[in-house]
Each structure stands twice: as structure tokens, then as C-alpha cells.
């Protein structure tokens, strides 16, 4: 009885990939969960043959498939219980261990890791296959820790070790999954990930070796799964919000269902090509200070146009070892501003000022000057930020939805086109930082679009997420607050109007490309 056969396209590419890491993801309904559930049977089939021919007495293979929560895991288990006995009449199920043992001895486990440290429950095991259903619901630490458990001394199984995952572009882990899998190479392109590992002999490290592992990202769309009613499924998604449709129907990795900015973020509008800041525009600097992850320092340089719109023309992301303390940060910012012509050489201080996290005026238990004092000693002028998370959230949302007249573009009636947003960023406002031996891409145009809302207070972002870029943006918006005043030349577009604008651009052939797609230069 044939219970599962991959469809041509994404599913076939996924199950036939022979490298260590493979992610199938994107739009909902692409058949990712089915692929994951039955993928270990490649190993089980080989192990069954080895046992039947007498090559081995019992298989040492072990697979585990993860869902983040137990209710989600039960849904997968129900399907497994219905089908695994049809594949192998001798398979045994143990409820307490959540494990199927097949006739050849191969064990197929099911697990969940709801809490950050739940990977410890599986640290004593060795696995030959690990799967993550909805990878973006897991943390990078959980993924990396389980990666260390994928190993085997069996000569056949050691050549089939693999980690497989499927996901939609939603969830708290969207940022790291996108960085690790989606952005490293074009879709369907195998790449080599090199890992340096220590070689231990008699308890002593004698050398290191570089291990090469292949990985691939395979985008999946609704059309890749003819097993479901695609028209009905798509019709259901079209009733959802724009962000949800873009994530689940289009497989867009640069929006997030449940993101705090929701439908307000539009990379075609809020990200633009760098341009020369006019001399009459005031400049400011905003700082959210920290040292080690998650205490990343985020710095944004903003200019204000005559309509009181903000443009972030430079952003910096800094942590150890680049800076060790506030003095290091001050010296680095001084060098940046000297090079940019923003430093008063005669007075030995910056020509610009701006908000700094109000906590930096407190002693915080250290001996000596405060963080604010250390920066000002170097010549970095700062003001105490206004710490009002809800007020800042309102200001940022207002600016994202605000539109002012374009200086040159006119509509069919000869009136200025209202398309200059209340806040935007140069497409250069991102950078890499080194965190725990990994390169992490951060910056406002990377983190803001996917920053999740607080589940208990959806009006503000989740403080457990990487909100450092949001904080420095919030300080700046609170330093230059705006409100809708009747008679001013700006308008605030509601969600329907924003979606209408996007539809018009799409109809004109413009392609959405997330932060990588360059916005228009004014």
C-alpha cells in the first residue's frame, strides 16, 4: 500500500536531497508536514533490508520529529499512529516514550520543546535523523543543540545523517531561519557549510578538523501540493490580512504574521536608496546601549525633512569584541562622525546630538562615570530618552502610515503625489555582528518588519525578541513626536488604502523584494 509519494517539484527535491540540512518552506499548504513525517523511512527501508539479509542483527538508527508544543505534536502523532502500522505490522508504540520501534529495531521518536532549555531532555540520545516541523517556532539554540546529537558509529547510517525541517515564514524564529537558510544562496541551490570541530583523544584535544556539510533551501508553494483543494485553500487565505497573505500564500520571508508593524510596513515605501541629505535638514543620533548579546548596541542616525519626516541614513550594530564599554562606543562614534564631516574639530565634540536610553544615566552598580557621562567625555552629545513604550509604539505606527507630498512627482491632476512616509531607512541600514561564533544580520530594515507583538500586550513589541533597533527608533520618534493636525499637508493612510497602493504597484509590474529590493530615490 502506497501511503505517501512526493509530488514532482519541491517535495521530490526535498526527499531526494542527500546533504545534512534541508529546509522546505514558504507558502502554507505545500505538503511540508507530510514530507517530514515520512522522510525517515529512507533510513528505515535500508535498515530493514540490512536486518533481513543478516548484515546486522538490529538497527541502531533513531529519528525524532519535533513540534514546539504538545497539542501540535498530538496532531502529528495521530497521523503516525494511523499509518505506521500499515507500513510495518510489527511496529510497536510506547506512549510514555513517544516512540515507535520498527521490526528492524529502528526507533522513531516524537518530541516537543516548548521551553528554551527543553533540548536537555534529549541530550543523552544519538540520532541519525532529526526533523523540525515549523522550524520558525523554535530557537536557534534548540536547533544547534540538537545538531550536536546527530551522529552514529554505524558505517552505513553515518553516511545518511540528516536534519530536515519545514516551515512557513512566521514565528519568533523567522529572523534566524531566514539568515541560516534563505539568504545564504538562491533557492534550490545546494551550499557547503564548513564547521570546525575539535578532535579529542584520551580526554585531550589533539587537533581540529573542518567538516563540510551540504544544505539547501527549497521553497514550497500551494501549487506544489495537488493533494489538497488548492482553490479552496487559497480562497481561505485571501480573506486574511495582507501580512498573512504575503507570508502564507506568497511565501514572503520579509513580512511576518503577528509582526508588531502588521500591514504598515512596506519595503517599497519605507526602504529607499541612499541620497545626499540636504544641508538644511536637521540631523540626530539615537542610541540603545548594550554590550553582549542580547545587549546589542543599536545606533541610528536620522535626518528630518521640512515636513517633519524622518529618514535614517546610517545605522550601526555593535557588541563585543568590537566595543567593550561606553568609552569604546564613544571613540568609535567619534571616528564615524569625523569621517562623515559631523564633528566639530575646533570644539572637540559632535555637531549632532540625540536621545540615549534613559537607563544610561544611572550608576547601575558600577564605579566611575555613568554610560552617558563616558560618552559626553569623548564629545558624543546625548539627551535622556523618553521611556514610554506605548507612546513610542503609537509614534512609530503613525509615521509608518503617514504620507507627505513628493517634491517632484505629480498625479494626473497635477497635484503632488502623497508618497513620502513619515519614517524611512536607507537600504544600507543593516550589518553583520558576530554572536557566539555566528554571523547575525541585524539592523532596522531587517528586524523591524518581523519583530513580533507581545502576546499579552499586542500594542507593543515582544521584549523577549531582538528589539534593540526598535528601541533606538522609538527614542528618536519620541524625541520628535508628531500628531495628525487638521490642515497640515500630510495624510495618514489606513490599512485599506495602503493595500490599494500595493495592489496598484503590483499591477504596474513592480516586484516586491523585501529589504533587498531598493526603494525609490526621491
Lowest mean pLDDT, pick from 256-260, 337-341, 423-427, 446-450: 256-260
Instruction: Please check the confidence at residue 512 and state whether its pLDDT lies above 80.
Output: no
pLDDT score recorded for residue 34: 85
Average pLDDT, the chain: 84
CB atoms within 10 A of CB 298: 28
Question: Three-state SS for 87?
Answer: helix
Does the bond joining 232 to the residue before it have cis omega, within 30 degrees of 0? no
Instruction: Please check the confidence at residue 463 and state whether its pLDDT lies above 60.
Output: yes
How confident is residue 509, by pLDDT bands cut at 50, 70 and 90?
A: very low
Instruction: Please check the confidence at residue 334 and state whether its pLDDT lies above 80.
Output: yes
pLDDT score recorded for residue 263: 73
Q: How far apart are CA 309 and CA 422, in angstroms?
A: 4
Instruction: Please check the confidence at residue 289 and state whether its pLDDT lies above 70.
Output: yes
Name the residue with higher pLDDT: 502 or 436. Answer: 436
Percent residues over pLDDT 70 in the chain = 80
Q: Which CATH number is 262-516's, of 3.90.920.10, 1.10.287.610, 3.40.47.10, 3.30.420.280?
A: 3.30.420.280
How confident is residue 491, by pLDDT bands cut at 50, 70 and 90?
A: low
Q: How far apart are CA 17 and CA 150, in angstroms?
A: 17
Instruction: Please check the confidence at residue 510 and state whether its pLDDT lies above 60.
Output: no
Check if the beta carbon of residue 254 is closer than 8 Å to that of residue 441: no
How confident is residue 508, by pLDDT bands cut at 50, 70 and 90?
A: very low
Instruction: Please check the confidence at residue 517 and state whether its pLDDT lies above 90.
Output: no
Residue ranges covered by each domain of the chain: 10-248, 262-516
* pTM metric for this prediction: 0.62
pLDDT score recorded for residue 231: 56
pLDDT score recorded for residue 421: 93
Percent residues over pLDDT 90 in the chain = 52
Name the residue with higher pLDDT: 178 or 93. Answer: 93
Angle between helices 326-339 and 371-378 (to 10 degrees): 30
Lowest mean pLDDT, pick from 150-164, 228-242, 255-269: 228-242
Lowest mean pLDDT, pick from 137-141, 157-161, 326-330, 360-364: 360-364
Task: Write b or e for each residue in 141-156: b if 16 or more Cβ atoms lie within 10 A of its Cβ, otherwise e.
Answer: ebbebbbebbebebeb
pLDDT score recorded for residue 511: 31
Whose cell is 553516511? That residue is 159
Domain boundaries 10-248, CATH class: alpha beta
Instruction: Please check the confidence at residue 210 and state whether its pLDDT lies above 90.
Output: no
Check if the beta carbon of residue 395 is closer than 8 Å to that of residue 384: no
Lowest mean pLDDT, pick from 127-131, 157-161, 191-195: 191-195
Is the backbone of residue 514 left (phi > 0), alpha (psi -120 to 50) or beta?
Answer: left
- What is the secondary structure of 154-217 as a DSSP string? STTGGGS-EEEEEE-S-STTHHHHIIIIISSSSTT--EEEEEEEEEEETTEEEEEEEEEEEEEE
Amino acid at each position: 500500500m502506497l501511503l505517501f509519494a512526493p509530488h514532482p517539484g519541491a517535495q521530490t527535491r526535498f526527499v531526494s536531497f542527500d546533504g545534512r540540512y534541508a529546509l522546505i518552506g514558504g507558502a502554507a499548504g505545500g505538503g511540508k508536514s507530510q514530507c517530514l513525517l515520512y522522510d525517515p523511512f529512507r533510513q528505515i527501508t535500508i535498515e530493514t533490508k540490512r536486518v533481513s539479509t543478516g548484515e546486522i542483527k538490529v538497527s541502531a538508527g533513531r529519528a525524532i520529529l519535533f513540534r514546539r508544543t504538545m497539542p501540535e505534536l498530538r496532531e502529528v502523532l495521530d497521523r503516525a499512529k494511523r499509518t505506521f502500522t500499515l507500513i510495518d505490522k510489527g511496529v510497536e508504540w510506547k506512549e510514555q516514550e513517544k516512540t515507535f520501534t520498527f521490526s528492524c529495531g529502528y526507533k522513531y521518536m516524537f518530541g516537543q520543546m516548548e521551553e528554551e532549555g527543553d533540548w536537555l531532555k534529549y541530550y543523552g540520545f544519538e540520532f541519525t535523523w532529526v526533523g523540525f516541523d515549523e522550524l520558525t517556532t523554535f530557537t536557534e539554540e534548540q536547533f544547534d543543540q540538537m545538531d550536536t546529537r546527530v551522529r552514529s558509529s554505524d558505517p552505513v547510517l553515518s553516511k545518511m545523517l540528516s536534519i530536515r525541517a519545514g516551515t512557513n515564514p512566521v514565528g519568533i524564529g523567522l529572523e534566524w531561519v531566514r539568515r541560516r537558510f534563505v539568504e545564504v544562496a538562491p533557492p534550490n541551490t545546494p551550499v557547503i557549510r564548513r564547521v570546525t570541530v575539535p578532535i579529542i583523544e584520551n580526554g585531550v584535544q589533539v587537533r581540529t578538523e573542518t567538516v563540510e556539510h551540504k544544505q539547501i533551501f527549497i521553497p514550497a508553494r500551494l501549487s506544489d501540493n495537488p493533494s489538497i483543494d488548492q482553490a479552496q485553500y487559497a480562497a481561505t487565505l485571501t480573506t486574511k490580512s495582507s501580512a498573512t497573505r504575503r507570508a502564507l500564500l506568497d511565501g514572503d520571508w520579509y513580512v511576518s504574521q503577528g509582526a508588531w508593524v502588521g500591514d504598515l510596513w512596506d519595503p517599497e515605501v519605507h526602504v529607499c536608496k541612499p541620497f545626499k541629505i540636504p544641508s538644511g535638514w536637521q540631523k540626530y543620533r539615537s542610541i540603545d546601549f548594550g554590550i553582549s548579546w542580547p545587549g546589542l548596541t543599536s545606533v541610528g542616525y536620522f535626518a528630518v525633512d521640512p515636513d517633519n519626516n524622518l529618514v535614517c541614513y546610517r545605522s550601526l550594530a555593535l557588541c563585543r569584541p568590537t566595543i567593550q564599554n561606553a568609552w569604546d562606543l564613544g571613540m568609535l562614534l567619534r571616528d564615524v562622525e569625523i569621517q562623515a564631516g559631523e564633528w566639530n574639530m575646533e570644539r572637540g565634540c559632535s555637531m549632532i546630538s540625540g536621545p540615549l536610553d534613559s537607563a544610561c544615566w544611572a550608576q547601575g552598580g558600577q564605579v566611575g562615570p555613568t554610560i552617558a557621562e563616558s560618552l559626553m567625555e569623548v564629545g558624543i552629545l546625548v539627551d535622556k530618552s523618553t521611556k514610554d513604550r506605548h507612546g513610542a509604539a503609537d509614534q512609530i505606527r503613525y509615521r509608518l502610515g503617514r504620507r507627505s507630498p513628493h517634491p517632484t512627482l505629480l498625479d494626473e491632476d497635477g497635484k503632488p503625489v502623497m508618497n513620502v512616509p513619515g519614517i524611512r531607512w536607507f537600504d544600507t541600514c543593516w550589518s553583520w555582528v558576530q554572536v557566539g561564533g555566528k554571523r547575525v544580520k541585524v539592523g532596522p530594515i531587517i528586524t523591524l518588519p518581523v519583530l513580533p507583538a507581545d502576546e499579552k500586550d499586542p500594542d507593543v513589541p515582544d521584549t523577549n525578541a531582538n528589539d534593540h533597533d526598535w528601541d533606538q527608533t522609538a527614542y528618536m520618534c519620541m524625541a520628535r513626536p508628531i500628531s495628525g493636525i487638521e490642515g497640515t499637508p500630510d495624510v495618514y493612510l489606513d490599512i485599506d488604502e495602503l493595500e490599494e497602493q500595493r495592489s496598484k504597484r503590483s499591477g504596474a509590474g513592480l516586484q516586491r523584494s523585501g529589504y533587498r529590493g531598493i526603494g525609490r530615490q526621491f
